[in-house]
Amino acid sequence: MAAKEVDFYFDFSSTNSYFAAFLLPAICGRNGARVNWLPLHLAALFRGTGFDVMAMHPAKARYLWEDHRRYAELTGLPFRRPSRFPIKTSACLRAVLAVKQLSEEQSRSTDAELSAGAFSQGIFRAYWEHDEDISDRAVIAALASELRMDQKRLFELMEDDQIRAELRAVTERAIQRGVFGAPTFLVGDEMFWGKDRLDFVERSLRR
């Protein structure tokens, strides 16, 4: 039997993706499954679906921030409402793909997906815990250095046309699979949307 896998589509601008990025690995860990970290360009996806986060009714937006605060309290994750919202994330999303390629180029003992996971969690923390401006390359540089990555090569890859095309391809493929928002989890063809469905993801992995 092939190893179990969860395709995890996320964007750094999505609050619920932040929560999922820290809760999903534990769920996968205890069920012998691996996480495929798949950066999704939500801004591009929403251009197609017509969704506009800024068009949200103020009463709903107010409620959702309070809901996130309660969820952080429940999970113990040190979530903090960022002062910049929404934020451009395309550079960070390309960086995730660049980290995977860098990891393969360096034939490190660390798996490309594990590197992508550590990097992605670092960006999520910077934005949703430390209120950093993740559209600023300095944040990516600092994280790369912390994770002992080759910064120069990482930035080269990030700006490479091939990685730009790959981000478009990952997003396109997600749309073809029925993805309409983030976080989305796919276990085989079973799709689950939102952090509130992590229990369904776990039930699916247990079967």
Min dist CB 199 to a copy of itself, Å, is 9
Taking CA atoms, 97 is separated from 68, 81, 90, 146, 168, in Å, by 28, 26, 11, 18, 11
Type of residue found at 10 = F
Give strand pairing partners of 9.
38, 184
Type of residue found at 99 = V
Which residue number, 73 or 111, has a Cβ lying nearer to a copy of itself? 73
For the segment 29-68, give every residue that binds a copy of itself (CB under 8 A): 49-51, 55, 57, 59-60, 62-63, 66-67
Nearest to 182 by CA among 93, 60, 59, 73: 93
For the segment 163-202, give every residue that binds a copy of itself (CB under 8 A): 175, 178-181, 191-193, 196-197, 200
Min dist CB 48 to a copy of itself, Å, is 9
Q: What number of chain residues touch a copy of itself (CB under 8 A)?
A: 24
Give strand pairing partners of 37.
8
Burial class (CB in 10 A: 0-12, 13-18, 19+), 71: middle
Per-residue binder mask for a copy of itself (CB under 8 A), 81-120, x = binder = ----------------------------------------
Interacting residues toward a copy of itself by CB under 8 A? 49-51, 55, 57, 59-60, 62-63, 66-67, 70, 74, 175, 178-181, 191-193, 196-197, 200
